């Protein structure tokens, strides 16, 4: 299907170049999954196809969903840490005594965490 749409077509005198990216999910009949989960998984496969360029297809892999859940877990942890005031801001000055370096009191900000269980 992806290859069949690569050809140009003419519509009312205008040359059109169509493209297709597909997210595919293969569902075993023995594993019952609701329609919403199937759509979400097909969507993950579609985004993976688009991430690798146009005119691609990707078949859903459980690792896609696992990576999304891990990203969501880390985001929730960061939001909880902000809400609970568990983040501290630190300023570390970087000074250079080398006149060629041109660093005139430039510093770096860093975030410290009071308590970081479950984050690696």
Measured CA to CA, the distance from residue 17 to residue 42 in angstroms comes to 25
DSSP string, 19-46: ---EEE----TTS---HHHHHHHHHHHH
Print pLDDT tens along the chain (120 aa): 666 667 788 889 998 888 888 999 998 888 888 999 999 999 999 999 999 887 889 999 999 999 999 999 999 999 999 899 888 777 777 666 666 655 555 555 566 666 655 555
- Give CA–CA dist 110/75, Å, rounded: 18
- Look-up of token digits 């688009």: 50
């Amino acid at each position: 299907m992806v290859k069949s749409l690569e050809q140009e077509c003419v519509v009312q005198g205008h040359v059109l170049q169509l493209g297709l990216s597909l997210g595919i999910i293969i569902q075993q009949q023995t594993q019952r999954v609701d329609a919403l989960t199937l759509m979400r998984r097909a969507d993950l496969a579609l985004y993976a196809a688009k991430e690798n360029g146009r005119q691609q297809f990707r078949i859903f892999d459980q690792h896609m969903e696992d990576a999304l859940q891990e990203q969501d877990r880390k985001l929730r942890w960061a939001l909880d840490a902000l809400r609970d005031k568990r983040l501290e801001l630190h300023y570390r000055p970087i000074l250079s005594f080398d006149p060629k370096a041109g660093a005139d009191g430039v510093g770096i900000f860093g975030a410290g965490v009071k308590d970081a269980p479950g984050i690696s």
